[in-house]
Amino acid sequence: MMRTIRLGTSRLEVPEVAVGCMRMSSLDKAQAERFVQTALEAGANFFDHADVYGGGKCEEIFSDAVHMTASTREQLILQTKCGIRSGSFDFSKDHILTAVEGSLKRLKTEYLDVLLLHRPDALVEPEEVAEAFSQLENSGKVRHFGVSNQKPMQIELLKKYVTQPLVANQLQLSITNATMISNGINVNMGNEAAVDRDGSVLDYCRLKEITVQPWSPFQFGFFEGAFLGNDQFPQLNQKIDQIAKSHGVSDTTIAIAWLLRHPARMQPIIGTMNLTRLKDSCRASGVDLSREEWYEIYRAAGNVLP
């Protein structure tokens, strides 16, 4: 049974593991239907989209695969993102409103449960974001709002004008991409791990009750590949396999369980289109790693404790 968490300060209960739809354009109709059905059977009814995924095709394929109807829609939690344009980022009021209309049409729904602003726009005018959010909320087209890839002061700037709670922040985080954790462990040290690249965003989100949604939970680098079963990470895979065996689960399950073990109560976004990995990821909701196991995996990834 998939456990749930509260998304930010909202009353929205969501599954611990969310399904990312970035690669859905690689599936044909039958494959997409099987994928969505597999996720729903595992209790993963939270689907993460973005208007740029597949140039909009991913949202279309999803709505066709789920055979969207009014009754079906009520069983789903749909999140999408906007703000990325070809060669630029755009958080202007006009773009946000236009992007949402496009997503609603492609998803065949009258409302979004969650809208996130995608990568930060250097030219953001927070007053315009506030106007767009209020218009979308008042019209019933978006129920909850959040951000993606933003650090604390960027969020604070938005919050000066935006009246709606920002319930989520989608950030890159995995066992091998854990700088937001490492800099908190290596406080006041002179090593590379002590460098704060994100303004202590993990602690900030915990303080402000913003749900962290880790993306690319199996990736190392920036989309350089999966670390599971990768010869570049022999010690990490040996340790993950050992712990997976002791729990009677797969290495995929342990990789997600490692994120879920953190007390920030994160909601990992699974980007795989592989049905076995999808099911194994969802099983992580029932696996509780010990403190010792969590740190063993952390150290096996090459992280050194001070």
Per-residue pLDDT of the chain (306 residues; tens, 9 = 90+): 899 999 999 999 999 999 999 999 999 999 999 999 999 999 999 999 999 999 999 999 999 999 999 999 999 999 999 999 999 999 999 999 999 999 999 999 999 999 999 999 999 999 999 999 999 999 999 999 999 999 999 999 999 999 999 999 999 999 999 999 999 999 999 999 999 999 999 999 999 999 999 999 999 988 789 999 999 999 999 999 999 999 999 999 999 999 999 999 999 999 999 999 999 999 999 999 999 999 999 999 999 999
Encode pLDDT of 221-258 as tens digits.
887 899 999 999 999 999 999 999 999 999 999 999 99
Phi-psi group of 265: left, alpha or beta (phi > 0 → left; psi -120 to 50 → alpha; rest → beta)? left
H, E, C per residue of 121-152: CCCCCHHHHHHHHHHHHHCCCEEEEEEECCCH
As a whole number of angstroms, the distance between CA 169 and CA 77 comes to: 17
Closest CA to 277 of 230, 201, 222, 218: 218
Across-strand partners of 14? Answer: 5
Strands 84-85 and 88-89: what pairing?
antiparallel
Class for domain 4-300, per CATH?
alpha beta
Would you list the domain boundaries of the chain? 4-300
pLDDT at 88: 97
The secondary structure of residue 144, as a DSSP letter, is E
pLDDT in tens, 30-57: 999 999 999 999 999 999 999 999 999 9
The one-character DSSP state at 53 is G
Burial of 258 (0-12, 13-18, 19+ CB in 10 A): buried
8 A C-beta contact, residue 161 and residue 126: yes
Q: Which pLDDT score is estimated for 1?
A: 80
Distance from the first to the final alpha carbon of the chain: 38
Q: What is the CA radius of gyration of the chain?
A: 19
Tokens of 265: 């109560």
Contacts of 207 (CB under 8 A, 6+ apart): none
